[in-house]
Amino acid sequence: MNVDVAVAGAGGGGAVLGLALAQMGVSVLVVERQPGPLTVLRGETIQPNGQQILERLSLLSALTPEVVEPVQRFHFIRIGGERLCTMDYGMLPEPYNRALVALNAVHHVLLSRLPAQPSAQLWYGAEFQGILRKNGRVDGIVIRRAGEQSSTEVQASLVVGADGTGSLVRRALGIPAEVYRYRHGYLIALLPRPEGMCGEARYYVGRGELLGLFPAPGDRVVALFMVEADAVDALRAQGLSAFKSRVSAIDAAMTKPLESLTSWEQVVLLPCARVRTDRWVVDGGALIGDAAHAMNPHASQGRMQAMADAMALAEVIGRCRETGDWSAEALASYERARRPQVEMLQRLADEQTFFWNAADPVRCFLRDRVFRGLDRNARLRYQALTATAGLRATPPLTWMDKLMAAGFLPDPRADQAPV
Ligand SMILES: Cc1cc2nc3c(=O)[nH]c(=O)nc-3n(C[C@H](O)[C@H](O)[C@H](O)COP(=O)(O)OP(=O)(O)OC[C@H]3O[C@@H](n4cnc5c(N)ncnc54)[C@H](O)[C@@H]3O)c2cc1C
């Protein structure tokens, strides 16, 4: 078998790349080691930049109210205290002036459209195992398909690693990576939505504690509770009722919904990692999404950036196909186009992790002070929101802005947000 492009991994990045290439008439094979579309709960916030991409792929209209929940306001609240700040997506230009919360729906829509494209194939239960080389050049991939004894070889002009943080493609292409595992991960559960929580998400920040409550389709709420990855067993050992009591103590409205939580099996642990690599392209190979640049989820952009990578790479692949040049040089414009935004978001997410996850009084004090400062300052709030919404590649706040947000400098333009 011979294709233009072989993609390992059908997560957010791989599925979008497969679809974008198929819509351009490029022959593409996407191999996914899972036996079918993801069924594990993974609440996803589709930010405005992701909505723009889905519109370009003619998929946005498929995201009906049954499968996505629009959320306009995100309230940051001090645990045991007052509201600190509200980020209102209504400040952003229409029609992308809201976030959409989905439960794997986007993923399912993407994966259901892919096999319908004449030039695309999606193989589930197919694990990327290695790179084929001919005269030292990348020539395709080796795959192990579920239920088959021997491996399958597929010739391809370009191999793309969209296989996540632990990318095997990255290793096979010889791209070194720095993989950093964050101390904190998240426990995630899907619960009935408490009354009065419509179109508004709550994000509680405390001393070494975070609880996010995001309205989800079907009158439900996705609850994310930060935990030390090493302490999950100890937390489980304390019992489910202790965990539920803690969540109820943070938001009393969750007491009733938590009655539906009867087993730890309803709670999924999502660890967090950051990946840095000094190159995303080599001759005949490229990385997208978490394989190239996983980031802390505080950015709320990991999946969106994987999708943005896919769109940018698809455009470059179109040119490579015309010229027959699949060299690192020919692919480099993809990396040049994408790196600034990705690196800005990685740094921003790390800064947020440093302050938001903090337990010591100094950082907590500064964090709360900056939230309050942002709440009073429409200009800075707009700038911060455009980063989370994926609408900018430059840092949202300069050092002067940070001093103003923390209330150490006055801001004469505080009420000047673009309309
Ligand atoms: C708690 C938490 C909350 C998050 N919230 C958000 C959010 O709200 N918004 C957002 O944009 N991002 C969010 N993210 C980040 C987001 O989940 C990731 O950045 C995104 O999934 C990356 O997409 P990807 O396609 O690069 O990789 P993945 O989604 O990890 O997909 C990789 C795929 O490759 C497959 N694979 C792996 N190895 C092989 C192999 N050898 N052969 C074949 N297939 C293979 C895997 O099975 C998988 O399907 C969050 C992350 C966490 C941890």
DSSP labels, 36-87: SS--S--EEEE-HHHHHHHHHTT-GGG--TTTEEEE-EEEEEETTS-EEEEE
Rg from Cα positions in the chain = 22
- Cβ neighbours for 285, distance < 8 A, ≥ 6 positions apart: 131, 138, 158, 159, 160, 161, 169, 173, 175
The verdict on the CB of residue 18 being under 6 Å from ligand 1 is: no
Least confident of 42-46, 229-233, 276-280, 296-300: 42-46
CATH of 70-98+183-270 given 3.50.50.60, 3.40.980.10, 3.30.9.30, 3.40.50.970: 3.30.9.30
Mean pLDDT of 150-165: 97
Whether residue 263 has pLDDT greater than 90 = yes
Mean pLDDT of 135-164: 95
- The pLDDT value recorded for residue 419 is 66
Q: How far is the CA of 285 from the centre of ligand 1 (A)?
A: 20
Residue 219 pLDDT level (bands cut at 50, 70, 90): very high
Evaluate whether 190 touches 301 at the Cβ level (below 8 Å). no
Q: What are phi and psi of 372, to 5 degrees?
A: -65, -40
pLDDT tens-digit series, residues 62-73: 999 889 999 999
- The pLDDT value recorded for residue 180 is 98
Given the CA of residue 9, which atom of ligand 1 is nearest to it? 34
Mean pLDDT of 288-317: 97
Mean pLDDT of 28-35: 96
Given the CA of residue 45, which atom of ligand 1 is nearest to it? 8
Q: By percentage, how much of the chain surpasses pLDDT 90?
A: 89
The verdict on the CB of residue 302 being under 6 Å from ligand 1 is: yes
Mean pLDDT of 70-98: 96
* Protein fold of 2-42+104-180+272-348: FAD/NAD(P)-binding domain (3.50.50)
- Give me the residue spans of the domains in the chain: 2-42+104-180+272-348, 70-98+183-270, 377-419
Mean pLDDT of 339-368: 97
Strands (DSSP E) contained in 99-136 are 99-103, 120-124, 126-134
Q: How far is the CA of 43 from the centre of ligand 1 (A)?
A: 12
Least confident of 80-89, 104-113, 299-308: 104-113
- Return the bridge partners of 145, or none: 126
Q: How far is the CA of 185 from the centre of ligand 1 (A)?
A: 14
Compute, in degrees rounded to 10, the torsion defined by CA atoms 143, 146, 149, 152: -20
Evaluate whether 364 touches 358 at the Cβ level (below 8 Å). yes
Mean pLDDT of 187-198: 92
Mean pLDDT of 381-396: 97
Whether residue 108 has pLDDT greater than 70 = yes
Mean pLDDT of 126-149: 95
- The pLDDT value recorded for residue 36 is 87
The verdict on the CB of residue 127 being under 6 Å from ligand 1 is: yes
Question: Which tokens go with 361?
Answer: 């009084």
The overall average pLDDT reported for the chain is: 95
Whether residue 322 has pLDDT greater than 70 = yes
> How far is residue 3 from each of residues 28, 212, 241, 339, measured CA to CA in Å?
6, 43, 53, 28
pLDDT tens-digit series, residues 279-295: 999 999 999 999 999 99
Mean pLDDT of 80-91: 96
pLDDT tens-digit series, residues 53-62: 999 999 999 9
Distance of CA 247 to the CA centre of its chain: 24
